[in-house]
């Protein structure tokens, strides 16, 4: 499936972004990455915070590309966009983050204690590396919206 198919199927809608919107999204990303490092916070909470940082970074990319998610399944469809972005450049990351979405759902809606310290640390490492890649892409492709 291509981004054009996602648009034609109503998963994506056209969207015009601006520098303030992207700045605001990355202020959330930066806050969440800082909050994820707060000592004595449960691994469940840290995982959910890291997840939100990734979600907002992908949303910034989505908006810079001229789209927004439409309708239900916003989180899942955000990672579906990521999977199909730029000839599936982030296919593996999209699959990993979608698994993290499912784990975040368990810990937010079903029961506490489902995230180990190891899972949380691995997710933080992957998220930080991914977010840096997204920032680099935005600086190169969309300097009018994001300059770092």
Q: What is the CATH number of the domain that holds 16?
A: 1.20.120.330
* Residue 147 within a domain: no
Helix (H) or strand (E) holding 76, with range, is helix 74-84
* Residue 146 within a domain: no
Q: What's the predicted TM-score (pTM) here?
A: 0.95
Domain count, the chain: 1
Give per-residue pLDDT as tens, 52-94: 999 999 999 999 999 999 989 999 999 999 999 988 899 999 9
Give every CB contact of residue 15 below 8 A, 6+ residues apart in sequence.
62, 63, 66, 67, 68
Give per-residue pLDDT as tens, 114-139: 999 999 999 999 999 999 999 999 99
What is residue 2's predicted lDDT score, i.e. its pLDDT? 87
CA 16, 20, 25: angle at the middle one, nearest 5? Answer: 90
The whole domain housing 33 covers: 3-141
Give per-residue pLDDT as tens, 32-56: 999 999 989 999 999 999 999 999 9
Facing residues of 69 across strands? 12
């Amino acid at each position: 499936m291509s981004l054009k198919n996602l648009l034609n199927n109503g998963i994506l809608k056209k969207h015009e972004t601006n520098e303030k919107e992207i700045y605001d999204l990355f202020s959330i990303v930066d806050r969440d990455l800082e909050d994820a490092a707060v000592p004595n916070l449960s691994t469940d909470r840290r995982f959910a915070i890291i997840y939100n940082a990734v979600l907002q970074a992908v949303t910034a990319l989505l908006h810079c590309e001229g789209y927004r998610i439409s309708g239900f399944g916003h989180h899942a469809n955000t990672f579906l966009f990521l999977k199909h972005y730029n000839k599936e450049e982030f296919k593996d990351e999209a699959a990993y983050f979608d698994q993290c979405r499912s784990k975040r759902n368990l810990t937010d809606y079903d029961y506490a204690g489902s995230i180990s310290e190891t899972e949380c640390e691995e997710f933080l490492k992957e998220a930080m590396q991914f977010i840096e890649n997204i920032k680099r892409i935005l600086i190169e492709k969309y300097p009018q919206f994001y300059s770092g």
